[in-house]
Amino acid sequence: MAAPDEAPPHPARRRDQLDKLCLFDDHWSPRIAPELNDSYVKLLKVKGELLWHRHPEEDEMFLVLRGRLTIRMRDGEDVHLAERGIFVVPRGTEHMPVANEEAQVLLVEKKTTVSTWDVEVEGTGPNPWV
């Protein structure tokens, strides 16, 4: 389920979005900031492992803002990203992000991309705007 395609109730989305990482602390809970054509730019804090999952129809971009992130690939080598590291998980590719220590990550996903945790937990809503 994609997030609602409305602007957040403040003009901050038109400024530097990085500051918004200070506004939340929970892990594996992406915040939308901002929209980008038919995609959302999402800010995410991660620690530990997520789950093996894939997005059958959509590529997903990861960019590490702080810390380090490993993206395990079921059918290939792990991808190790340091700060500023960039990787696009091709559509249909089973993957699992892992961070031993907290990392701050930027995602770019299509608005139609269903996050793993939406699949795992029935009734989970869309990612909120930050």
Residues of the shown chain interacting with a copy of itself in the complex, contacts defined by CB under 8 A: 13-18, 33-39, 41, 58-59, 61, 63, 65-66, 76, 79-82, 84-88, 90-91, 106, 108, 110
On whether the CB atoms of residues 85 and 117 are closer than 8 A, the answer is no
The amino acid present at 7, given as its one-letter code, is: A
CB of 128 to a copy of itself, least distance (A): 18
Nearer to a copy of itself (CB atom), residue 91 or residue 123: 91
- 3 state SS of 52: coil
CB of 88 to a copy of itself, least distance (A): 5
Q: Which of 121, 119, 84 is nearest to 104 (CA)?
A: 84
Compute the distance between CA of residue 93 and CA of residue 51 in angstroms, rounded to an integer. 13
Provide the residue count of the chain: 130
Nearer to a copy of itself (CB atom), residue 53 or residue 55: 55
Nearer to a copy of itself (CB atom), residue 27 or residue 91: 91
Nearer to a copy of itself (CB atom), residue 53 or residue 109: 109
CB of 3 to a copy of itself, least distance (A): 15
CB of 58 to a copy of itself, least distance (A): 6
6 to 9, 33, 98, 106: CA distances (angstroms): 9, 12, 31, 20
